[in-house]
Chain A
């Protein structure tokens, strides 16, 4: 979800890149995190001056677990001064210790930023010690009931870049396999810290959950 452009600046430097190891230690596949699935909730965009939250809808559009890749759209509904909901396309890195570790290594996020943000998720605390050393390369997440990700918005789908909003930051995300809920924290050195994203898996008013699929050739 985009946030308002702020004027301050920061210049933290990217740290080491994501590593790779081998073995069947990938996070579990989950039907609630498959293509076509929808989530709805809100993002707290409060600042010192004002308490504010925007309604947010997310739809998963692509999922490639081999490459630790997830993508979709994020729709912010009650953005002030915007005539229509603002839709962005995001790409996600699944922390699978093979393609991506807990260390971001880019997007102006230092290891300290990473640890600080991941630690906001209670489900992260059992992993903290192993992550501190090497980003959690040797962790086996195959049976862990949470999937950690980074979501980075790539472009605005329905508005121009001059809309007064920014997608410069990214989200630290934690998905719960047990109930399909998603918590996230937006990180952008130039925006209010720890803006919280809270989403729940939604069946969009149906009397149950439906699943669709496509197959790229």
Chain B
């Protein structure tokens, strides 16, 4: 509504006037100013920020501090405490200002005030501060703190017990914290308090979740309480009238089930949990926003629960919500993560996901304003692109999907970049010969850039994506990648402990398609094949050895020169190691994959009809390799046993042919 210049000027002068009145020595003036301030800021984030900027918080804390011990101070304490709580509620800058102004010790002291209204307001205010992530962690290892917490939980005042519970929720973060509190009898106190008001019950459920999270010992203590009655009370609460109680009780049960699945065994209970959570998705407020996260947490890494959730049509519901308009970012993120978990393992879920026609919506959300939503969309896409059936049909390799993902590789947030890399890693496997689309969109350039990032996680994931890209790629695509990557970078990646396994697997894939592809590792005086050989001889990591020997095995599918190069790499004694060759070491190893890789390498080196085959067999015999092979004739691994047979047969046939 338009207003006159005079009216606007009057409105803007109001905060200054109000602050001036807060500093008045007249108690009545101060009280009136406090009430005005409270009415302005409660529920109004903009006003809160504006007053925080004007430096109002220290003035209010000043009023609080100066009102303690004054006869007429109660009303001032009530108003100032309420304002302090409001400033801290939901606004980080407010919580920071409140803490910096030293409100904490004053508020704690006031908790012992005889005036119940004063105590109520102060406890509520402190609880709001403890709901901020900026609030200091309460140190439970100090006796006085523990005693104070116990006295709060023992209070008859529900706001005070609620505060005690909030302190636990905020500060109980380590196994030690959980054990201290459990040892102090806090579990039993919280269970008793569950019988109180809604406010108290919900605060206690959150505190219980914090105490039980990932701690099997404390969970066991909890389950043993009163012969299992504590657990029964919790289970009963998942059917409570209050939606928030239902959610919090479910969350607590999920925490128990994730750590000790035996306590969440009954299929009926699992089904009930799923149905309750699905129903809670309909809740419009904070509860509805938090439910998808609870669903995701319930089914994460649990195929049995994913199957149950799928059978209860959870995916349909989640996708239905996803398509509703005006979703808050928090809920959008949660829905994407819950869908991601459902599609993480079961192909039937992925199949359903595609039939529900939400792929475009998820792809569009890669461009969302919120980084959390973008990351969740990536995780969702990562899990649905685990479908080889869809990858084979070339479902994802198109500009609409690839372009926004490549954009995200340049995001300022590393977690967004890593999430985008994980989807790209899957999409570029592409069996439909459409890898050129990714090249054309500049994807390879970006992956190569990230393979040299300062961040080791980005480097690792970028090399993994490059490895997947060159899997069964045509020669021209491989050449493009190698030209972009350069030989020197590849060599340094092969030598870098954190990424070498993936770098060797990348080379293995490059080498897969015959002599032309093998030539790639012989450029620049063969520094790549030398680097592979060096790593294979010196590596301690099993997976590096496996990738390395398979890479050399692939080199040995090339021509005579290539095979001879492999011979010299694998028969050279190990640096600072025993005099035996690495090939014998691998054949003697406990890992069947490594043995099989080494045997394949020998099969390729002794492959029939090569002009140098006889001489290589002689060298292998002299090096004790054939003798070692014979010892594996009855290898417990069938694959190794039969491959040994092939290798020995090749050697025998070669001798007979001479």
A208 to B431, CA, bound (A): 23
Contact B557 A210 (CB under 8 A): yes
A207 to B392, CA, bound (A): 28
Which residues of B pack against A, CB within 8 Å?
Answer: 347, 382, 385-386, 388-389, 391-393, 422-423, 425-426, 429, 431-432, 464, 467-468, 471-472, 505, 508-509, 511-515, 550, 553-554, 556-559, 563, 596, 600, 603-605, 607, 610, 637-639, 642-643, 645
Total residues of chain A contacting the partner, CB 8 A: 37
**Can you add 5 more A-B contacts, CB < 8 Å, to A89-B393, A208-B604, A212-B554?**
A31-B600, A36-B471, A206-B514, A208-B557, A215-B425
Q: How far is the CB of A177 from chain B (nearest CB, A)?
A: 5
User: A36: which of B425, B464, B512 is its contact (CB, 8 Å)?
Assistant: B512
Indicate if A155 sits at the interface (CB-CB under 8 A): yes
Known: A177-B638, A216-B429. A207 touches B393 (CB 8 A): no
Contact A145 B638 (CB under 8 A): yes
A-B contact pairs, 20 of them (CB 8 A): A62-B389, A73-B431, A154-B389, A177-B642, A179-B642, A205-B514, A206-B515, A207-B559, A207-B604, A207-B607, A207-B610, A208-B556, A209-B603, A213-B505, A213-B509, A214-B467, A214-B468, A214-B509, A215-B468, A216-B429
A36 to B468, CA, bound (A): 12
Residues in B neighbouring A209, C-beta threshold 8 A: 553, 557, 600, 603-604
A8 to B96, CA, bound (A): 79
Contact A157 B393 (CB under 8 A): yes
Known: A36-B472, A207-B559, A211-B554. A62 touches B388 (CB 8 A): yes
Residues in A neighbouring B509, C-beta threshold 8 A: 212-214
Residues in B neighbouring A145, C-beta threshold 8 A: 638, 642
Indicate if A30 sits at the interface (CB-CB under 8 A): yes
Known: A208-B604, A208-B607, A212-B509. A73 touches B392 (CB 8 A): yes
Interface of B is mostly: helix
Indicate if A28 sits at the interface (CB-CB under 8 A): yes
Indicate if A143 sits at the interface (CB-CB under 8 A): yes
Residues in B neighbouring A166, C-beta threshold 8 A: none
Contact B638 A28 (CB under 8 A): yes
Contact A206 B557 (CB under 8 A): yes
Indicate if A16 sits at the interface (CB-CB under 8 A): no
Indicate if A203 sits at the interface (CB-CB under 8 A): yes
Contact B553 A217 (CB under 8 A): no
Residues in B neighbouring A96, C-beta threshold 8 A: none
Residues in A neighbouring B505, C-beta threshold 8 A: 213, 215
A203 to B467, CA, bound (A): 21
Contact B600 A211 (CB under 8 A): yes
B390's closest neighbor in chain A, by CB? A89
Known: A61-B388, A206-B514. A29 touches B639 (CB 8 A): yes
Contact A71 B607 (CB under 8 A): no
Contact A30 B392 (CB under 8 A): no
Indicate if A130 sits at the interface (CB-CB under 8 A): no
Indicate if A91 sits at the interface (CB-CB under 8 A): yes
Contact B389 A71 (CB under 8 A): yes
A131 to B471, CA, bound (A): 39
Known: A28-B638, A217-B426. A212 touches B386 (CB 8 A): no
